[in-house]
Chain A
Amino acid sequence: MVLNFEEIKKLLPQRFPFLMLDRIIDYEYEKRIVGIKNVTGNETFFQGHFPEEAIMPGALILEAMAQTSLIYFKLSQNNPKKDSASTPVLFGGIKAKFIMPVVPGDVLKIEMTPVKVISSGGIMEGKASVDGNVVCKAELCFSAGRKQPKPL
């Protein structure tokens, strides 16, 4: 295990009921990050999505992928502790494809690879899978909320 739940909380600003990540099991700089989200029937969103049939909202699968990407971003910076959990991050461009529904009992494995990550943002792509079956593929483009270098 690379990061447990408490360590994840130190790097992410999200809290209950919006922490969509339980564990980081693999991290390699410029290669990949792998996160785990255990989906239980007790999730608050299942109350309404849907009352008669629990299906994890696709937007929240993306949230799990976004949070995994954010952890990668924090870990890949020289000093992740420096801007702690409070760095606001804006996810701008998202391309996603949902392949299968995610239901209670599923273990969501999120594997993201960096396309390009710089100190003020990045692009990550990857997939979420359950038991080896891909449930969602996505590419996320984000910008960290701090002073931008005079861009492009």
Chain B
Amino acid sequence: MNMKTENLEMEIRSMIAEIAEMDEKEIEGNISFQDELGFDSMTALEIIAKLEKKYKIKISEGDLPNMIDLNSTISIVQKYLR
């Protein structure tokens, strides 16, 4: 993992923790948002809206089903940043 990915991970992790009102430590790379952290569709929507605003990207609806945990969210954001 290079520096850039690490920074991105830190930023996204703290963003998600803030939206979900959770401790950052609870959000691990492959812990499922839905099954283990109990996120609902509105939390998901809030995360996407925040990501779009922060990184000035536009995440397509087709990517949503793939954003299942922190790792996949990071790779999707990276895809748009490239």
A151 touches B49 (CB 8 A): no
B42 touches A152 (CB 8 A): no
Give every chain B residue within 8 A of A122 (Cβ-Cβ): 45
A121 touches B65 (CB 8 A): no
A123 part of interface (Cβ distance < 8 Å): yes
Give every chain B residue within 8 A of A150 (Cβ-Cβ): 65
Closest CB pairs A-B (n = 5): A152-B44, A116-B49, A92-B42, A152-B67, A118-B61
Give every chain B residue within 8 A of A121 (Cβ-Cβ): 41-42, 45
B46 part of interface (Cβ distance < 8 Å): yes
In the bound complex, how far is the Cα of B46 from the Cα of A131, in angstroms?
32
A80-100 CB contact bits vs B (8 Å, 1 = yes)?
A: 000000000000110000000
Interface range for B: 20 to 34
A130-152 CB contact bits vs B (8 Å, 1 = yes)?
A: 00000000000111000011111
Q: List 26 A-B contacts (CB under 8 A).
A: A93-B42, A115-B49, A118-B45, A118-B61, A118-B64, A119-B61, A120-B41, A121-B41, A121-B42, A121-B45, A122-B45, A141-B45, A141-B46, A142-B42, A143-B40, A143-B45, A149-B61, A149-B64, A149-B65, A150-B65, A151-B33, A151-B39, A151-B44, A151-B65, A152-B64, A152-B65
